[in-house]
Structure 1
């Protein structure tokens, strides 16, 4: 199926690994122009390539509004505008309530909220000019289903889900759709690092299955970055033109909320 993304320009943050990298690659395969950024610009250049003229990469701190503005302006100059935005930059803080200090709380809230606000504010004039303006915020099932092991991250994710709903209503008059994709446990570099640091005697596949069982994932495994990238790209598509203010869970059935 043609998703209608050929020639569209999409900004993807946190694109040097995991879901962001998979999303950028899928968009390029659909014929989109991609402006990808990450904190580590050198790594991004190494892992992501695309057709000549269709890809721009840059190092960008999404918490630096002036850097975000420069990145978006350069993207618009290069491609003639911006049609879509994927807010993917993020991380999880594995810490319980009593293990989390005030600075860590502020860092989590800053990253989950202001990384999105900076990019949406900057890109809004360009998205308004597009006939298919769309934003997808990559979030987590934690937003509705908090875990004590991720106290600050759970709260910040809930704030982002709330903000996403507000943005969908606020930007609708400009013809800009805003949706969320909420992740469960996804097999990315973050989980592989935790496995390596654990010193576990199991091989990675067995550790993965044990983790899935411990977390109550009905499908019995962690998801893949490509399995997340597909719904992100589908929500960006003009074919999804009547979907806004929605969220899709991608977690192998781990979500317990209705």
Structure 2
């Protein structure tokens, strides 16, 4: 039973077919919201949709393939959501993985690709859904960001810089949209279990083959000086998203919640 009741509300989650996005869709459906989700991978999206419909029989769910970097696809998705579910009350911008590279080995094309992904995966959906959010009376946008925005890593220079820009963008949009009744917030995630980390685990050196997932991630957490001693779970990030998207956070805008297990060195 969800602690938050969202009956009659409509939510959109980009990148909703796996990880934090999928966990967020599950929590929103559990709370009674109608949910639209999108992703680029058709097969993965349909697997996620089938799983959700089995878990939540009778749910109001709309799943569509959409590349958030292509504004015409995002506009078509926004129109289809409105026609299928009604005006949107909550938008969760959740797209993009991290790029491992240093300043020395990041080419111009890689910089442009990373900056475009991090900015326009927020800009395009927000622009497309803003007219609907303004009609809500309780419109909310939540952007999934990274602790890198405040705590850059030299081996992820392009991602860190782009994430910092998105943190600033959230604050700017929050100020501009407040008179329209639309709140904008974000979360800053630390190390959260994901497909990326699973692939790194599978590719671990022969010397580490005796370590199972729990032991390997616990050692990683120690190496990264995470006080809680483990990686976060997608659902733990999703709970923070649900709070910021819902009326429970009705007096919060332009803010970010730290979901890093204490990894942040900022007060």
Q: TM-score range by the shorter chain?
A: over 0.9
Cα offset, 1:42, TM superposition: 2.0
Moved over 6 A (4+): none
Q: What pairs up with 1:1-258 in 2 under 5 angstroms?
A: 2-48=3-49, 49-50=52-53, 51-52=57-58, 54-199=60-205, 200-201=208-209, 202-258=211-267
**Per the alignment, in what secondary structure is the counterpart of residue 7 of structure 1?**
coil
Q: Give unpaired runs (5+ residues) of structure 2.
A: none
Contact 2:29 2:59 (C-alpha < 8 Å) held by counterparts: no
The 2-side partners of 1:253 and 1:81 are apart by 37
Cα offset, 1:198, TM superposition: 2.6
Cα offset, 1:99, TM superposition: 1.9
The 2-side partners of 1:74 and 1:178 are apart by 23
Contact 1:41 1:60 (C-alpha < 8 Å) held by counterparts: no
Contact 1:143 1:161 (C-alpha < 8 Å) held by counterparts: yes
* Matched residue count: 258
Alignment RMSD, CA only? 1.2
- Residues 90-118 of structure 1: per-residue CA shift (max 9 Å, x gap): 10001122121111111111111011110
Contact 1:4 1:239 (C-alpha < 8 Å) held by counterparts: no
> Which moves more between the two structures, 195-204 or 227-236?
195-204
**Per the alignment, in what secondary structure is the counterpart of residue 98 of structure 1?**
coil
TM-score where L is the length of structure 1: 0.97
Q: Give unpaired runs (5+ residues) of structure 1.
A: none
**Per the alignment, in what secondary structure is the counterpart of residue 97 of structure 1?**
coil
TM-score where L is the length of structure 2: 0.94
